[in-house]
Amino acid sequence: MKYRKLGNTQMKISPLSFGASSLGGVFHSLREEEGIEAVHAAVDNGINFIDVSPYYGHLKAECVLGKALKEIDRDLYYLSTKVGRYGKDGVNLWDYSAKRSIESVYESMERLNVDYIDLINIHDIEFADLDKICEETLPALVDLKNKGIVKHVGITNLTLRHFVYVIDNVPPGTVDSILSFCHYTLNDDSLADYLDYFESNSVGVINASPFSMGLLTERGAPDWHPAPDQLKKLAAKAANHCKNKGESIEKLAIQYSVSNERIATTLFSTTRASSVLKNLKWASEPINEELLKEVMDILKPRFRDTWLNS
């Protein structure tokens, strides 16, 4: 596996990485043992970047991941988690204050059974006052970086222009990386428009959700999916087209998302070791260019459609 450097950091990470949101039962119920096995399968097969958040499953994902990490050498993976977005008793909560962010880092380390975090992200800044992110949250995390508690600082977000606002309004080098989701997929490649900007600011790029939160799957988008109905119909048509050709839209989606070497890594999430191995196999195979063109033609009428976060 050829590893890619994340921005100006010294982190060289696998093009396909493990997103631990599924360990929180975000998408469907899980058996902890299965989830732990999936984490081990990822690391055993060369994946060296793992991303999680206290928000996923309202602490559950971090707790399950922490059990898995107990049995893995710390030198074998880079660990990313987040601050700012939380939940309790089924209710979503947001708190981007410096005090809560610092507390959250230490709480996450305890749940994850580690004594430092490789990358701490501010979670979903579209829900926050961006000036507060610049003036309070980021300085608090940079202070933890200076103390060695965290190694690098990043931001995650659905609305791409928000990345630019934050990076432009903090000292150079404050933001080491960004995590964007659903914006480098078969139906939306708008992240590509920002790669020059990120590179000029030495900011690494992490892509997430190659299946566009279930949109680009044979099973189709879940009921809660915020995509417009017209896009859901086209995605279903594209999935059926792949199936009729004896191919899988999931395979094509993975291959497309990892194909751009300017993007350090693409995160996928699963609770099954078999899915980890399958995704890694797909990522290592050459993309079917003819099928890619056909699928892109199907999706073209709603290409780059976006939606609000929820």
Compute the radius of gyration of the chain from its Cα atoms: 18
Residue by residue, DSSP assigns 111-144 as HHT-S-EEEEEE--GGGS-HHHIIIIIHHHHHHH
Angle between helices 249-258 and 229-244 (to 10 degrees): 110
Other Cβ atoms within 10 Å of 10 Cβ, number = 8
Cβ-proximal residues to 233 (8 Å cutoff; 6+ apart), any chain: none
Alpha helix ranges (H) inside the chain? 32-44, 60-69, 98-112, 130-132, 138-146, 160-168, 195-200, 229-244, 249-258, 273-284, 289-299
Residue by residue, DSSP assigns 46-61 as T--EEE--TTTTTTHH
Of the CA atoms within 13 Å of residue 56, those in its CB half-sphere come to 25
Catalytic residues: 56
For residue 209, which amino acid is it?
A: S
Q: CA–CA separation, 157 vs 168, rounded Å?
A: 15
Q: CA–CA separation, 179 vs 267, rounded Å?
A: 9
